Amino acid sequence: MSGIKRGIFALGLVFGAPLSYAEGVKVDGKLDESAWQSAVDFSTFFQVVPATHSVHKNKVTAKILATEEGIYIGIVNYQPENLRKKQFNLQDGFMQGEFNRIYLDFSGDGSSAYLFATTLGGGKQDAVVTPQRTTDMDWDGDWESAFDEQPEYWSNEVFVPWHSVSFSPKVHANGFATIGVGIQLYDLKSNNIFANQKQTISNSDFFLNMPKIEVSVPQQSQLNFVPYMSYQRHFEPRQNKSHEADVGFDLFYKPAHHQTLSLAVNPDFAQVDSDDVDVNYSAVETLRTDKRPFFTQDISVFSIGALQDTKLIHTRRIGAGSDDKSEVITPIDGAVRFVHQGKSAQWGAFAVKENSLDSEAGKDFYAGRFSYRSAKWQSGILATHVERPWFNRSAQSLAWDSQYQDDTWSIQSALLLSQVDQETRQSGNGISLNVGYQFSPNTQLEGQFLRLNDGFENRDMGYMKRNDWQYSKLSYSHAINVGNDWLTRIKHTLDLSYEANSHGLKLPARQGYKAQLMLNNGAQWSVHLDQVRSGWQDNIGANSVPFFQPSAFETRVLYQSPYTGEFSWAASVELDQEGLSGDALQLALDMTWMPHANWNIKFNNYYRDGDGWLVASQRNQLSEYDRTIFINTIEASALIAEDLEFSSTFQWSVLEAKSKDVYDILADGLQRQANTDTSFEDTRLMSQFKLRYRMGAYSDVYLVYRRGGAQLNMLDKAQVGHKSWLESVKDNWTRPIENSVIFKVRYLF
C-alpha cells in the first residue's frame, strides 16, 4: 500500500477502522517473510481439467494467512523457466500467460464468492461468482498482487482486504469464522488445470466441497469516498456540444462487513471505453456489460437465475439515452443503495434518479431484494419499479426465485411477473427452470425450460431476448480422458431443443452435436454439427406476422493453437444453409503477436458471405439478400511503466447487402414482389487510444482519444460493392461522427 494510501486510510480512525498492518508482510511475490510460517498450507492438488483427479504434490503449493487487514494468499508454481510463459494483460483481459485463479467464499456457505486471477506478467482479473455459479466479470475490487520468478518456479502473492468485499462471516462458538478457498493453476503449455479441490466452477458441488479454513475476522467499519472529474472536447459537435465537463462522487460506507450503504451525487456513470461495433439487424437486442462501480458492488445480492439472459435488472438501462432522445447519456442526479447480508437472510435496495431535463424525459429506477439461504437451498424475491414521465409510463416486475444444490443435483427456478401502465395496463408472467444432474465429474445432464407469455415486459429496467416464447433444451455432455502422447481429452456435447410461442406455434429450434479434442501440446480442435429444425419465424422484426422457415444444417470446425510462444492463433471454417434456400461460408481468424512480455497485438477477422440472409425491411415485408460482411479488429496493449498502461482498439466493419428477393408476408405464406430493390451498404468505424495511469483500486488518470463514424446508404443492387472496403474505412475516418478527447481523474479516499 502506497504512502498516500496509508495516510488516507488513517481517516478510518473516525469510524473505528483498524490501522495495523501485518508485520513483515510485503506484497512482492516472494513469500519470504516469517509471518508465512504460521499460514495454512495446501500441498495436495488435483488435476481437474481433464478431470482425472490425479494427485500432484509437485505442481503447485499454496499458503493462506489471515490478518487484521485481510487475507494473504501465496502460491508457488513449480514450472521451470523454459516451460512457462510470461505475459501481461489488461485488467479483466484474456490471459495468455501462466496464471492462478483464487476463489474466496467469505461467508463459507456458497451465497457468493469472489474470483481473483493473476498472471505471470502482472495481469489481473476479478469477478463475482453468484450462487448459480455464474461469473460476472464487471466487478472490480480493491486488492493487490505481485509475482516473483526463480529458475525452477514462480510465485504469486495476493492480498485481499476485508473491506474490499461484503459478506456475513459465519462465526462459530470458538470465535472463528469459516471461509472457503479454491486455488487453481492453469498450465498454459498443456491446457491442464490443477486445483486444491476436485471440482471446478462447472460442477454442482463446487461450493459444497470447497476447502474451508477457520480465520479470525475482525470487526471493522470502512468509509470510501471516490470523487471524479472528467472533461471532453468534441472536435465534431455532439448534440450541439463541443465541450462537456462533469464532476461527482461515490460514497461507500460499511458499518460492518455484512452491510454497505452507497450514495452517489452525479455519479461517474459515463463509460470511458467505447462499445464494440454492433452490426445487428435482428429483433434481439445486443446485451451490453456494465463496469460502473455503483452497480457492480454487491451484484450477487440482486442476482436471480433466469435462463436465456433474462434479467429483471440490466443496469445499462440506467443513465442511458433519454426518452425524448435529446441525450445519449442521461445525467444522474443521485443514487442510493443499501445491502445487508445476514447469516441466513440477505436484503438490499437501490434507487436512482436521472435528471428530469427540461422535457421531463428522465427516468426513476427502484429495486428491492430479499432472500433466505440454508446450507443447500436458497429462495428470494426481487422487485423493480420504473417511472418514465415522458411516456406517462410506469413499469413493475417481480421474481420469486429458488435454488437447490448438492453433490449431484443443481436446480434453479424463477417465477416472473410484470405490469406496465401506459394508457392501459399490460400484465405478463413467465417461468424459468434449470435442472442439472452430475453423474460423474466427466458426465452431466442438464434440462432447461423458459416460458414468457406475450404480455411479459421487463425492458424498462431489465433485458430479455423476446417474450411470447416457450424454450426447452436438453443437454448431455461426456468427457473421455485419454492421456496418451498427443491427446488428453475428448468431450462430446449433445443439445436438443424445442421452441414455440405462447400460443403453441412451433418455432425453428437448434439441435447440435459438438466434439472437443484437447491435445497434449496445448492445442484444441472442435467440430460442430447443428441442425436448425423448420418452424414458424415470428420474431423477424418490424412487428411482422409469422412465416414458415425451412430447416437448415450448419457445420463448423475450429482450431486453437497452443498459447505458448510469441505467436498464437485460432481459425474456424463454417458452412451453413441459411434463409429460405441459401448457403453461407463463414471464416474467422484470430491472431495474437506477443513480441515482449509487456506487449501484445491482436488481429481479429470475421468474414461471412451468403445468399440467404433474411431481414424484415418493413412491417410484413421480408428481404432476402446476397450478403457479405467483414469485421476487422486490431487491438494493442502495453505496460509502458509499472503503473502506466496503453491500449488501443481499431475496429471497422463493412456490410454489403444485395437484394435477392423481396416478399410480402401473408397469412397463407410468402408472396414474391416484382421489381423491388432494398439493397444497401452499412459501414462503421470505431477507434480508441487510451493511456491509463493506475494509482490503485478506483484511482486512475485516463487520457482517451476516440474517433468513429458510420454510413448507411440505400443503393441500387448494381451499385453495392463498387467502393473498396478500405475506401469505406477512409470515408468513416475523414467524416467522423465521434471525434473527441476525454480526460478523467478519479481517486479512492
Q: Tens of pLDDT along 652-673? A: 999 999 999 999 999 889 999 9
Beta-carbon count within 10 A of 334 CB: 15
Q: What is the pLDDT of residue 269?
A: 53
Reference 342, options 307, 376, 305, 301; nearest CA is 301
Q: What is the pLDDT of residue 12?
A: 35
The answer to whether the CB of 472 falls within 8 A of the CB of 523 is: no
Confidence of residue 268 (pLDDT cuts 50, 70, 90): low
Characterize the bridge pairing of strands 443-452 and 60-66. Answer: unpaired
Tell me what the mean pLDDT of segment 165-171 comes to. 87
Phi, psi torsion values for 432, nearest 5 degrees: -130, 135
Confidence of residue 331 (pLDDT cuts 50, 70, 90): confident
When the pLDDT of each residue in the chain is averaged and rounded to a whole number, the result is: 92
Q: Which amino acid is at 584?
A: A
- CA–CA separation, 118 vs 96, rounded Å? 11
Confidence of residue 6 (pLDDT cuts 50, 70, 90): very low
**Is the confidence at residue 54, as pLDDT, over 60?**
yes
Output the pTM of the full model.
Answer: 0.91
The answer, yes or no, to whether the previous bond of 151 is cis (omega within 30 of 0) is no
What length does the chain have?
Answer: 749
Residues 6+ apart with CB under 8 A from 726: none
Higher pLDDT, 244 or 392: 392
Tell me what the mean pLDDT of segment 218-236 comes to. 92
> And the C-alpha cell for 577?
444453409
Tell me what the mean pLDDT of segment 349-374 comes to. 95
Higher pLDDT, 265 or 536: 536
DSSP 211: -
Q: What is the pLDDT of residue 22?
A: 47
Tell me what the mean pLDDT of segment 292-296 comes to. 81
- CA–CA separation, 696 vs 709, rounded Å? 34
Q: What is the pLDDT of residue 452?
A: 97
**Is the confidence at residue 387, as pLDDT, over 70?**
yes
Q: Tens of pLDDT along 88-107? A: 999 889 999 999 999 999 99
Tell me what the mean pLDDT of segment 297-326 comes to. 90
